[in-house]
């Protein structure tokens, strides 16, 4: 079974679909942080050195075991030479 097939099967369960939707914002932040860091060709260690944020904390942010504050996200963005943007978009109605 492929990952796509597995997800399709799991999404048929309304409880699973609801739980998945509830964690999407956190997953989006985690993914955005990882993508931004990688786009700058930086390791977690290098980002740690530029921001003064422990590498272990950056790892926790990226793997979703710690939720960042906006202030912390701004420090990370500054360390990557980036601007932090937060966007609110309308929900898609099914």
Mean pLDDT in residue range 53-80 = 96
How far apart, in whole angstroms, are the C-alpha atoms of residue 7 and residue 78? 36
11-59 tens-digit pLDDT: 899 999 999 889 999 999 999 999 999 999 999 999 999 999 999 999 9
Q: Left (φ > 0), alpha (ψ -120 to 50) or beta: where does 52 sit?
A: left
Q: Are 76 and 51 in contact (CB under 8 A)?
A: yes
Q: Specify the CATH number for 14-79; select among 1.10.10.10, 3.90.1150.10, 3.40.50.1110, 1.10.260.40.
A: 1.10.260.40
pLDDT value of residue 58: 97
b or e along 19-31 (b: 16 or more beta carbons within 10 Å of the residue's beta carbon)? eeeeeeeeeebbe
């Amino acid at each position: 079974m492929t990952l796509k097939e597995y997800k399709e099967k799991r999404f048929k369960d309304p409880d699973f679909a609801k739980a998945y939707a509830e964690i999407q914002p956190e997953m989006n932040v985690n993914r955005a942080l990882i993508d931004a860091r990688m786009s700058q060709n930086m390791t977690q260690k290098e980002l740690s050195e530029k921001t003064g944020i422990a590498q272990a904390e950056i790892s926790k942010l990226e793997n979703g075991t710690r939720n960042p504050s906006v202030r912390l996200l701004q420090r990370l963005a500054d360390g990557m030479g980036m601007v932090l943007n937060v966007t609110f978009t309308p929900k898609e109605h099914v």
